[in-house]
């Protein structure tokens, strides 16, 4: 059975055709311009592909409340052309198939939970540390939405004692995204993040912030495993540094065998950077089942 997947990002749209086993059969990407330009291109791509449903993992904030009048909209995004864009309604109308919808990072969490390193676990979280920081929460076999959807990339942190950088979040002076996203590292050190050597002080500060956030998520959400993805996490030296800090901060408080083996508890993304688009295939499949 053919399914469509759309990873809607602030800079590019990834479009793919795949199946219910998470296999991607073809994939392409187009730049994210305005809805007037980009949505017709997306419709053109999918319209003759004989897909049974489409799954979208989108940048946001988005409206995921099925009882709301603006369900399926991108809402108050900083990408102004997309504010109040009815992405689900428009694609549904033109393609005439069920359209599943969630945040981009929930899509990645779902991809990993279905086919990747958190498969078979009831509760897990996926964190992307890239241009922004996002957290997808998979809880008791479902993606967590709550009031809106988690925005846990903006949790507030204690500053590293040696970090004087003001942060880059326009809303918060000391949130995770403002202090630890790729662009924040690059502004703090005046260099591309991948040009800083693996011994650079940047990574100690980075691990300190990520670990603090993880401890907050562990204490509140109690996940069975945490996956770290996104461009910044290509710096593999961060993993042992983060695990070490998490251990220090938890300080033995939680007694469970899972936390005794942090190498298996805090892990990299495992689907070759396809976790997002594969998650969209699963969203498509779930929507199809919902509509039966
Ligand atoms: P996005 O978040 O836009 O989907 P990425 O997850 O690839 O995309 O994140 C891009 C950011 O990650 C860049 O701003 C850059 O700062 C950072 N980045 C990309 N590659 C690396 C790398 N090898 N090492 C450290 N940082 C990186
Ligand atoms: Zn913030």
pLDDT, tens digit, 9 for 90 and up, residues 13-34 = 999 999 999 999 999 999 999 9
Asked whether the beta carbons of 54 and 107 are under 8 A apart, the reply is no
Backbone angles phi, psi at 183, to 5 degrees: -60, -30
Asked whether the beta carbons of 281 and 18 are under 8 A apart, the reply is yes
Query: Over 90: is that where the pLDDT of 52 sits?
Result: yes
Output the CA torsion sign for 268, 270, 273, 278: negative
Q: Does the beta carbon of 223 lie inside 6 Å of ligand 1? A: no
User: What is the CA(133)–ligand 2 centre distance, in A?
Assistant: 9
pLDDT, tens digit, 9 for 90 and up, residues 81-96 = 999 999 999 999 999 9
Query: Over 90: is that where the pLDDT of 101 sits?
Result: yes
In the prediction, which pLDDT does 292 show?
84
- Structure tokens that stand for 249 in this block: 């901060």
Atom 8 of ligand 1, nearest CA residue: 130
In the prediction, which pLDDT does 77 show?
87
In the prediction, which pLDDT does 118 show?
98
Residues 181-202: what's their mean pLDDT? 97
Q: Which atom of ligand 1 lies at the shortest distance from residue 130's CA?
A: 9
Query: What is the pLDDT of the chain when averaged over all its residues?
Result: 97
| Three-state DSSP state, 291 | coil
Name the helix (H) or strand (E) containing 3.
Answer: strand 2-8
Q: Which atom of ligand 1 lies at the shortest distance from residue 128's CA?
A: 6
User: What is the CA(205)–ligand 1 centre distance, in A?
Assistant: 17
| Three-state DSSP state, 251 | coil
pLDDT, tens digit, 9 for 90 and up, residues 220-242 = 999 999 999 999 999 999 999 99
User: What is the CA(171)–ligand 2 centre distance, in A?
Assistant: 5
Domains, the chain, ordered by start: 2-103 (3.30.420.40), 117-268 (3.30.420.40)
pLDDT, tens digit, 9 for 90 and up, residues 192-219 = 999 999 999 999 999 999 999 999 999 9
**Ligand whose nearest atom lies closest to the CA of 134:** 1
């Amino acid at each position: 059975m053919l399914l469509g997947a759309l990873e809607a990002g602030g800079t590019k749209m990834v479009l793919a055709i795949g199946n219910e086993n998470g296999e991607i059969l073809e994939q392409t990407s187009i730049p994210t311009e305005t809805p007037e330009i980009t949505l017709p291109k997306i419709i053109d791509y999918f319209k003759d592909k004989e897909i049974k449903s489409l799954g979208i993992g989108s940048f946001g904030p988005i409206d995921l409340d099925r009882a709301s009048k603006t369900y399926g909209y991108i809402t108050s995004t900083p990408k102004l052309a997309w504010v109040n864009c009815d992405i689900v309604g428009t694609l549904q109308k033109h393609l005439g198939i069920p359209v599943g919808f969630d945040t981009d990072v929930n899509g990645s969490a779902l991809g990993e939970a279905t086919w990747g390193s958190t498969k078979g676990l009831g509760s897990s979280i996926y964190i992307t540390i890239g241009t922004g920081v996002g957290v997808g929460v998979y809880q008791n076999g479902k993606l967590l939405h709550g009031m809106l959807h988690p925005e846990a990339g903006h949790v507030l942190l204690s500053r590293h004692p040696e970090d004087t950088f003001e942060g880059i979040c326009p809303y918060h002076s000391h949130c995770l995204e403002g202090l630890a996203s790729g662009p924040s590292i690059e502004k703090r050190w005046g260099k591309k993040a991948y040009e800083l050597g693996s011994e650079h002080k940047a990574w100690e500060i980075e691990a300190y912030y990520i670990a603090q956030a993880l401890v907050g998520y562990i204490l509140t959400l109690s996940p069975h495993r945490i996956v770290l993805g996104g461009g910044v996490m290509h710096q593999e030296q961060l993993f042992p540094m983060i695990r070490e800090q998490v251990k220090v901060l938890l300080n033995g408080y939680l007694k469970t065998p899972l936390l005794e083996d942090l190498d298996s508890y805090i892990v990299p993304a495992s689907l070759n950077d396809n976790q997002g688009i594969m998650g969209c295939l699963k969203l498509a499949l779930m929507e199809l089942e919902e509509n039966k």
